[in-house]
Amino acid sequence: MKVLITAGPTREPLDPVRYLTNRSSGKMGYALAAAFADAGHHVLLVSGPTDIDIPPGIDFVPVETASEMHDAVRRHLFRMDAAIFAAAVADYRPATVAGEKIKKSGEELVLKLVRNPDILGEARDKMNFEGILVGFAAETENLEANARDKLKRKRCDLIVANDVSKPGIGFDSDRNELLLVFPEHTAALPEDEKHHLARHLVKEVELLAATRSGAFQAP
């Protein structure tokens, strides 16, 4: 299969020395890229800035902003069999980017933010993607209900949900605990290393692709 994976945070510049970003190490997305490549699939990793080494044997598109990630996904999605959106994309960006460093003045500074494109949300409708579509949901409450709602709204085949309020897993950790929300059922993956969870997710996506096509799709 040809698999596109988004990973890491995006950075939305405010001026030449400052940006807004999301908390994300990129570890889950990179673990997925490595696991798909190890299983013999062709991987295109579209990644915001992270400290992680690029896994060997994959195609890599580095991006900074949500708009750049959006452009990269729009360019490549049409030729993919599966797409996994693990990136923590900033939902908003500063309305204007100052050309020079913003100097302090006054006691308050009000920032105006504007919406970024919802890349996952556009995959089916605007980008006409018909392959296996997997989204992530980082939630602090009502994990399953919020994930199921996202699954329907964004017409995904699977939402990988995790509770980011649980201490010791998620964000900067090498470990995570996941809830896999499919249209017809839900499966819990107990706490494990992100690399092991990634291997499990590869199998789930292979199964979804096989079910979709009526036969197993070779790498």
Residues 46-105 that bind ligand CTP (CB under 6 A): 66, 85, 87, 89, 91
162 lies in the binding site for ligand CTP (CB under 6 A): no
List residues bridging with 19 in a β-sheet: 13
State in angstroms the smallest separation of the CB of 135 from ligand CTP.
Answer: 4
24 or 81: whose CB is closer to ligand CTP? 24
For residue 142, indicate whether it is catalytic.
no
Asked if 162 and 192 touch (Cβ cutoff 8 Å), the reply is: no
Give the type of residue at 52: I
Alpha helices of 4-136 — where are they, by DSSP H? 27-38, 66-76, 119-125
Residue 35 is inside which H or E element, if any? helix 27-38
> Of the candidates 73, 80, 75, 67, which has an alpha carbon nearest to the alpha carbon of residue 13?
67
36 or 136: whose CB is closer to ligand CTP? 136
State in angstroms the smallest separation of the CB of 64 from ligand CTP.
Answer: 14
> Of the candidates 34, 27, 21, 5, which has an alpha carbon nearest to the alpha carbon of residue 64?
21
End-to-end CA distance of the chain: 5
Q: Which of 31, 120, 133, 151 binds ligand CTP (CB under 6 A)?
A: 120
**Residue number closest to ligand CTP, CB atom:** 119
Q: Which of 3, 5, 6, 48 binds ligand CTP (CB under 6 A)?
A: 6
Q: Which residues bind ligand CTP (CB under 6 A)?
A: 6, 66, 85, 87, 89, 91, 116, 118-120, 135-137, 150
Catalytic residues: 22
